[in-house]
Structure 1
Amino acid sequence: MKFSYKKGFSAALLLILIYNSTVLVLYGKPYDPGGLGQSKMEISSMEYRELILMEPNICSSQGIIIVHSHCCNRELRNGQRKAWTQSKLNESNYKRIFILFLDSSCTNLNLLQDEFEKHNDIVVVNLEENYRNLSYKHVIGLTWAVKNCDNMTELIKMDDDIFVHLPSFLDRARRNKPINQNLWMLGRLQVQLPVIRDSSSKWFVTKQEFNQHYFPDFLSGWLYLTNKKTVINILQNVLSCYTCQIEALVNSVLEPYWMQKVFWIDDVWLTGIIAEKTNIQRLSLNSYYSMFSEPLECCVKAKIACPYLVAPVGDNVTLLEKATLHYERCSTLMCPKYKNYEEKCLEKSNNNLSYSVSIEAV
C-alpha cells in the first residue's frame, strides 16, 4: 500500500488544474458514453508512489474486474460487495478492484483509508475525479491490472452502477469469443453511432476532437470482457510504446506526453478508435444487455427468469442486491422463463417506455 495524506493533496493541487468541473449522470437513458465538464489537465512526470495512493497487495486471480467508481459512491461499492462477495468471485477465479480518483467535494481520506483497510479492494489515484478525465482513469486501471495481476488471462471493465450475473455472463462470453483470434473484446457493441455536432448537446464533439461523421464501432463502457493480450496491445498503442513489455508500459503511463492525445469519451477512444487502429475484434453480446433498469426490476418482482445478464441500476443499490439474489435463486429453482417474461414485462412502464427483447440462442 502506498499512502500519504499530505503528499496526496499537495501533489494533486500541483499536478492538475480542473476548470468548470461538472459531474452529471443520467440514469434511464439508452446510452451514456461520457459526461459534462470542461477540464484541462497539466501534469508533470511523477513517480508511481505519488500517483497511486492506495492499492491492494495481492492479485493472483486469473480474472480481474476493474470497476470505475466515483469516490463519493461508497454505497454503490458496498452494494457490489454484497451482491458479489469476494468469496463468490473466487468461485469464478476473479478478483474485483474499484478504481477511484479524488474529488474535493466528497473525498475524506480517513474514510477511504478505513474502506481500504476493511475491504482491500480499492485503488486510489492521485488525480481529479471528472467526467472529462475518464479516459485517464480507464488507462490507469488497465495499467494497474497488467502490472499487478501476473496470472491474469481475462479482464472485465465495468461501472459501479451496473448489475451483472457474472457466472452466466462469463459462460455466454466464453462461448462467443473467437477461437483463432488473439485480440478481442466482447460486450454491448455500439454500431455506427453518429458524432454529435450540436454545440448545445452535452455530447458535442468538435471536428478538431474527431473529424469523422460516425464513431468506429465500439463497446459500451458499462461492461466489457477482454483478455490480457488485448489490454497490453491497447496500452502499447495509447502510450506509443509499441514493443514495450509490462514494466516499460508502467513507466510510460507516468509520463505526460500521452495525455495530450486523449479523446475524452473513454469507451469510444479505447474500444473504438484504438481498437480499430490495431485490428482488435469487437463482438456483440447485445442480446444479454438491457439498456434500462425497468426490465430487471420486473423480472425480480414477477419472480421470473430474465433474458438479460447485464443492466444499469442507477443508484438503486437495493435493486442491485435483490437482482443478484433473484438470479441465484432462479439458477437453482428454475424460474419461469422467457414466455412469462414477455407476458409480464414487455409492456409500457410507468415512464411510458416500451421494451422489446431479442433472445439470442448460443
Structure 2
Amino acid sequence: MRMELSREGSVVFLILCACGAINLVFYVTVSDPQIRGRRFIQWIGKDFVENTFIIAKDKLKYPPASRAAFSNNTKRATYVSMFQHDFFLNSLRRLKDVKSTEWEERTKQNSFQFNYILNEPFMCKTNSSVHLMIVVCSGVENLEARFAIRNTWGSYILDKNVTSRLVFLLGKGNNSFLQPQIQKESQLYGDIVQGDFHDSYRNLSLKSVFMLHWIKNFCSNSIFVLKTDDDVFVNLPNLLETLSSRSKGDRYILGYVFDNAQPDQNPNSKWYTPSEDFPEKFYPRYCSGTAYSFTSNITNDLLAASMETKLFWLEDIYITGLCARKARVRHVHNKEFWFGRRKSTGCEYRNGISGHKVTVKYMYKIFAELTNNNLTCVDGHN
C-alpha cells in the first residue's frame, strides 16, 4: 500500500530528517547526552525548532488531549484537559535556559496536562460554602483503607451540622484489572476523583498539583482544605475546632512545620536527593505531607506557583515549601499534626489532630475508642 504525503507533510518530513542528521553529528562528537542536547538546541535555534513542531502538530493532526470517557456516567467520567502545554517544546525551552544562575529559573514553565478518568464535579455544589474539603491521596489498590476511612474518622462528614466533603484522589495503577473495581467504588460512594497519570511515590507532587486544579475548578467555594493520606487517622472534631479559632480571610498552611531541614545525601536512603536535583543547602520552610490544612484562598496562588517552579519529587517540600515560598504563603505550626506513628489508642488521639502509618485494623480500633463515652484516659493517654 502506497502512502502519499501532501506538500506540507513532505516539507515537515524533510525538516525532521535534517534535524535528525544534525543530531546524529552531535551524537558522534559529544558523549554526554545533556550537553549534546543543549548544544543542538543552541546551534539550531529555539524558534526554528518550535515552529517546526508547531507545523508538525498542525499538519499531521495529533489526537486532542480531551477524549470521550469510557463510563456511561457523564457526571463521573468527565475527561477534562488541564494545562494545554506541549511537553516537548517546554523541554527545549528548559535546555535553552540551562545557563541561568538561579536554580528555580531553569524551568520557566511546567507542562502539566491532566485528564480526569473519574470525577465528582458536583461534590461542592451547595447553597452555602463548604467549610472543609477533605482530600485523601490514596493508592489505587488501597480499597480497604478507603472503606476504613469512610466508616471511621471520615464518617463525621455525615453530621448535618458539619458542612464538609470527602474525596479520594487517585491516579492510574499498574494493574488494569483494578479499574472496573474503582469504577464500581465510584458509582457506589461518589467520592473518587481519578487522574490520567501514573500513581507512584515519585509522582506525589504531580498528584498534589492535580488536587489544586480540582479544588480550583470544582470546589472553589470551600473555606478550608485538608490534604492527607490513606494511612493517616484524623481527629476531625479537633481539626474543625482548631480551624474555627483562626481569623477569617487569613492565608496560611497549617501543619507540622519543619525549618532548616537539609536534603538527604545518603544514596541508600528512600529520600536521597542529589545536589543536582536540589542544590540549595536547606529546604524552604514546609509542612509534613502526611496531613496539612490550608485556606482555600491560596489555591490559585499555589497552582500558579507550580507552573513556574521546577517540579520536585518530594510532595510536601514542593507544594508547602517551594510553591508556598513563591506564592508568599505563611506557615502555621501545630504539633498535633503528628507526622510519625502514634500509639494506636483513642486516648492518644483524643487531644491530637492526626497520626501517620495507621493500618486498617487500627483505624477501627482508634475510632471505636474515641467514640466510646466510657473511655478513661490518664493524662490524656492509656
Q: CA contact under 8 A between 1:146 and 1:152: conserved in structure 2?
A: no
Q: CA contact under 8 A between 1:173 and 1:285: conserved in structure 2?
A: no
Distance 1:321 1:102, change over 3 A: same
1:222 is matched with 290
Greater Cα shift, 304-313 or 69-78: 304-313
Specify which of 188, 210, 220 is matched with residue 278 of structure 2. Answer: 210
Specify which of 49, 56, 72 is matched with residue 141 of structure 2. Answer: 72
TM-score (norm 1): 0.69
Helix, strand or coil: the match of 1:91?
Answer: coil
1:4 is matched with 70
Specify which of 153, 157, 167 is matched with residue 223 of structure 2. Answer: 153
Distance 1:107 1:64, change over 3 A: farther
Cα distance, 1:340 vs structure 2:
5.8
Q: Percent identity?
A: 20
Q: CA contact under 8 A between 2:339 and 2:355: conserved in structure 1?
A: yes
Matches within 5 A, 1:140-289: 140-175=210-245, 177=246, 179=247, 182-240=250-308, 261-287=310-336, 289=338
Distance 1:145 1:285, change over 3 A: same
Helix, strand or coil: the match of 2:268?
Answer: coil
Task: State the one-letter code of the partner of 1:167.
Answer: P
Task: State the one-letter code of the partner of 2:69.
Answer: F
The structure whose Rg is larger is: 2
- The count of residues paired between Structure 1 and Structure 2 equals 276
Greater Cα shift, 229-238 or 193-202: 193-202
Instruction: Work out which structure has the larger RCO, using CA pairs closer than 8 Å and 6 or more positions apart in sequence.
Output: 1
1:112 aligns with 2:182: yes
Task: State the one-letter code of the partner of 1:103.
Answer: G
Helix, strand or coil: the match of 1:124?
Answer: strand
Distance 1:86 1:172, change over 3 A: closer
1:318 is matched with 361
Cα distance, 1:229 vs structure 2:
1.2
TM-score (norm 2): 0.65
Cα distance, 1:221 vs structure 2:
1.0
Cα distance, 1:105 vs structure 2:
3.0
Helix, strand or coil: the match of 1:4?
Answer: coil
Helix, strand or coil: the match of 1:202?
Answer: coil
Rounded to whole Å, the distance in 1 between the matches of 2:213 and 2:330 is 21
Rounded to whole Å, the distance in 2 between the matches of 1:234 and 1:226 is 11
Task: State the one-letter code of the partner of 2:365.
Answer: K
Task: State the one-letter code of the partner of 1:310.
Answer: S
Cα distance, 1:89 vs structure 2:
5.5
Rounded to whole Å, the distance in 1 between the matches of 2:287 and 2:357 is 19
Q: CA contact under 8 A between 1:305 and 1:336: conserved in structure 2?
A: no
Rounded to whole Å, the distance in 1 between the matches of 2:147 and 2:116 is 22
Q: CA contact under 8 A between 1:197 and 1:204: conserved in structure 2?
A: yes
Gaps (5+ residues) in structure 1?
17-42, 241-257, 345-362
Gaps (5+ residues) in structure 2?
1-67, 72-76, 88-109, 125-129
